[in-house]
Chain A
Amino acid sequence: MRRPALAFVYPLSALAAVVLGVVDLQVLLSGGEAAIHLPIGLPTIGFHLRQDTLSAFFGVVINGGVVAASLYGMGFDRAKELTPRVEPLFPLFAAAMNLVLIADDAYAFLFSWELMSLASWALVVARHTDPECRRAAHLYLVMAAIGTVALLFAFGGLAGPAGGYAFDTVRAHPPQPMVAALVLMAALVGCGSKGGLIPLHAWLPLAHPAAPSHVSALMSGVMTKVAIYGFVRIAFDLLGPPDWWWALPPIVLGAMTAVLGLLYAVLDRDLKRVLAYSTIENVGLIFVALGLALAFRANAQHAAAAVAMAAALLHVLNHSWFKSLLFLGAGAILHATGRRDLDGLGGLIHRMPRTAAFFLVGALAISALPPLNGFVSEWLLFQAVIAAPALPQAALHFASPAIGAMLALAAALAAACFVRVYGTAFLGRPRSAEAAGAHDVPLVQQAAMGGLAFLCILGGLMGSVLATALAPVLDKLVGGALPGPGSGPTPFSLIAFDPARSIYDAPVIALFVAIASLTSLIVVHRLSARRTRRGPAWDCGFPDPSPATQYTASSFAQPLRRVYGAAAFAAQETVVMPPPGDIRPARFSVVVVDHLWRAFYVAPGRMVIGLSERLNVLQFLTIRRYLVLMFVTLVILLSIAAVTT
């Protein structure tokens, strides 16, 4: 009886997000600012809200994702798919993310940040009957708490002893260099844990897939961007002028995150978990770009800083589009087949043609292939890396080729990863009865994916227009801008530094490719026999009708596991071959070790448990002993106070 009301959630969320997104866009383009001070919250601080170009840009990103997710939600079956555990929390989650962006004091920021975390946690735990969901939600809650504590420290350092928690006060009195460095590290931990920076990533590939798919799209596509917003706000706006070495932690961690995230993704067999790992990779790329922007800014190389910052911000926008698209596509597959394991899918391109087409756009875009949008930001990022040897610090010199190589490796691994995903889920022959009987999703869900796919194509062609629209944000953050649209050969040329140095002109290339493919189509059809026959697959003369003979996701990953897995995960293959004459089957097994999980989660977890077992005796003391303990504590505290004052 409550369900008709639940059905209104998505149209209303979509409407609200459209309105907010338009307002954000207007603020971004006009460069305006608006601030408001509400008399709620803590007595001395209140609740400051401010909308500037930076929050407006992130607002556009977030509300775009919310619109797509809401559209997708509108396609749910009212009788079966709406539950009071998901639908009421969805708008709360979206609203909390919007609130983080316009928070203008530490209290408002942390309040909305926690609201966002808890709302998304509640959405993760919506399917609480599944023990995996409960485990994911538990880990998420712990990591979110650690992140918030780190942010609490960061804002404490920013506020200083005087306790100026409003961002305006912080900007007026930036902290001392040592404090600022500590604040930056705390922000890296706080925002990095929300964004999935290694080694704080472990919750993300569990929690993002556990939520309903349209919420996964929001968490992966959009909520990670709020984390990046937090880092940008603290590192580029509140902290004051940077030291060059601040750039190293985000660059090094980001590059490691990019490569390792994809290695995890390439070896995983669960569709949604692969997507979540790839989110980690993209967050890593963005942090590399942000680190480079910090380094260039610290050396007053404003043009290069603008290139790196534009790469970061455009990747934020682009990733929100294609990752939302891919998660919605994964949701469509889950809805149509009930399966998320890649090795149980196959041949969906025949049964879900539209979803397949849209997913293909997303998969190619996230692989950073031209002329789609992922390549625009990737290109800018490479240009920033190529400019890094011009920095005066030797550490950054030596870092630049290593970072460049790691980014190139990440790009190639991304392509491998998504060829694998698309090839096993959509291409080939169905590997299960569910995949064979799949059907496409409702029209409005197709529209949600189609809109995002359209944006991926448009963003790829119009990258220079988007970069121009970012000019006020870039100017505010790093004091530089990309060359304007008039300085290149065509109005749509994307230019890094100056036209003599580097140009990428997507529309011209796309036009040439279109002309070349149409010409070849016409010419080949003129010249050729034009006869086409359908027959059984050739397969070198021995076609096998069983779909089990196809390459699976695991077999596709085998060369990559052999090449990279031994170093990264101590991957070991064991083959047990029975002697000739023995009829037992041969066995093949692979052992993969997650070093990061062991070092950063299992070991500290054991330590905490061991410590608490030791301290457990304190629970069973007599009252005299408790009194002695209190007395001793009091004496110690008093003596500390006496010494320090």
Chain B
Amino acid sequence: MTRDLVVQFLAQGAQMAFVLLIAPLAVGVVRRVKARLMRRQGPPLLQAYLDLAKLLRKESVIAESASWLFRSAPYLIFALTWVAAALVPSFASGLMFNWAADVVALVALLGAARALLALAGMDVGTSFGGIGSSREMMIATLAEPAMMLIVLTLAIAAGTTRLAGVADFFIAEPFGVRVSLALSLISLVIVALAENARIPVDNPATHLELTMVHEAMVVEYSGRHLALIEAASHLKLVLYLSLLICLFAPFGMAPATAGLSGWAIGLAAWIAKLLAGAVLLGVWEVSIAKMRVFRLPDFVGVAFVFGFIAILLAFLTRGVFA
């Protein structure tokens, strides 16, 4: 019993370490793919790690009008995102603390990190921070209803809101092409693009453009604080990729009872799917243009409509009208 517990603890710790270590690589893959498709050489795959190391070694310049909130927010944002990322089942569905937060709580944890970041953006009292914060919160109001509809569809299909439970259900239940799930997938991809400030919602590569959202909020950060914020946004990307993998492609994930060999297979499968997701993201980003901010309601609205249709179809497939 105690040995089991130790193994479980180690597995959970391992997952926390894995998501943290692989996150910059995923970002590196996206950047590399984008660069190669634009016929540029692009930065090395490991550039994101080097950037973080460089930022850590630099001094941190803090604005005179900044308060304690500005200095402490990066640590909390990083911790919240890291914990949330570690709660998404990645290589095994039955890890120690996966149960502690269901998907509703997970979304809310990310919401807490977002609110802190938006507050930090307003702390210095510049117009850039404010513009980023207000737009970020506006995008969240568009994305969260769509997310709720996705959760509702999954809960109708799998009968649980625990991510591990949903993953187990889809591993155990061989399902064909279900239209409602396909629509949910599209919907979740759009939400993920919005939440991660990717093209067409936001452009992570630009810095001084009036359409920017995420970069405008963090414009006052430097040094170690910026490193933490950057690491947190890398983690968030991995989190959403893991979430998509866990919910819609859980194949290969080790079930709750698997031993070490099962975990090894699960880990390999997860890393492979994660990197494939990063490649797809890179391809997507070079093939579409950034949207104007006030076109976003249309774009994220698609996620909402698809989520709604998905639920109505789920009602039909479950035969609740019978």
Contacts and interface: CB of A to CB of B under 8 A. Distances in A.
Given A369-B111, A379-B105, A422-B119, A502 B160 contact: yes
A556 B60 CA distance: 28
Given A379-B104, A534-B62, A539-B128, A503 B119 contact: no
Nearest to B130: A551
B126 A550 contact: yes
Contacts of B135: 559
Q: Say what secondary structure dominates the interface of chain A.
A: helix
B130 A502 contact: no
Interface stretch (B38-46, B143-151, B244-252, B270-278): B143-151
Contacts of A385: 152
Interface string B55-82: 0111111111101110000011011101
Nearest to B232: A520
Nearest to B52: A527
A243 B57 CA distance: 67
B160 A500 contact: yes
A412 interface: yes
Nearest to B77: A517
B204 interface: no
Contact of A368 (B83, B108, B121): B108
A528 B156 CA distance: 48
Interface string A508-535: 1100111011001100110111111111
B133 A419 contact: yes
A562 B294 contact: yes
Contacts of A370: 101, 105, 108-109, 112
A370 B124 CA distance: 25
Contact of A501 (B65, B114, B119, B161): B161
Contacts of A428: 65, 122-125, 130
B141 interface: yes
A260 B142 CA distance: 15
Nearest to A418: B115
B320 A389 contact: yes
Nearest to A533: B61
Interface in A476-530: 489, 493, 499-505, 508-509, 512-514, 516-517, 520-521, 524-525, 527-530
Interface stretch (A120-128, A316-324, A325-333, A343-351): A343-351
A493 B99 CA distance: 10
A612 interface: no
Given A409-B141, A428-B124, A419 B62 contact: no
B299 to A, nearest CB: 12
Contacts of A528: 56-57, 60, 223-224, 227
Interface string A397-428: 10011001111110111011011101110011
Contact of A347 (B65, B121, B311): B65
A169 interface: no
A364 interface: yes
B37 interface: no
B220 A555 contact: no
Interface string B284-299: 0000000001100100
Q: Which of B57, B104, B131 has the most CB of A within 10 A?
A: B104
B134 A551 contact: yes
A350 B143 CA distance: 34
B208 interface: yes
Nearest to A564: B141
Contact of B145 (A360, A375, A412): A412
A325 B151 CA distance: 32
A216 interface: no
A173 B89 CA distance: 54
Nearest to A538: B220
Contacts of A63: none
A279 interface: no
B165 A389 contact: no
Interface in A345-387: 346-347, 349-350, 356, 360, 364, 367-370, 375, 378-379, 382-383, 385-386
B264 interface: no
By Cβ-Cβ distance, the 5 closest A-B pairs, closest first, are: A551-B130, A428-B125, A423-B122, A408-B148, A517-B79
Given A489-B100, A537-B126, 17 more contacts: A364-B112, A378-B108, A382-B148, A386-B155, A389-B315, A404-B152, A408-B144, A419-B137, A428-B125, A502-B161, A503-B162, A517-B79, A520-B228, A534-B61, A537-B63, A539-B126, A551-B127
18 contacts: A369-B108, A382-B148, A400-B152, A401-B308, A416-B140, A428-B130, A493-B99, A499-B99, A512-B83, A516-B16, A516-B83, A517-B76, A528-B56, A528-B224, A533-B62, A539-B220, A550-B126, A551-B133
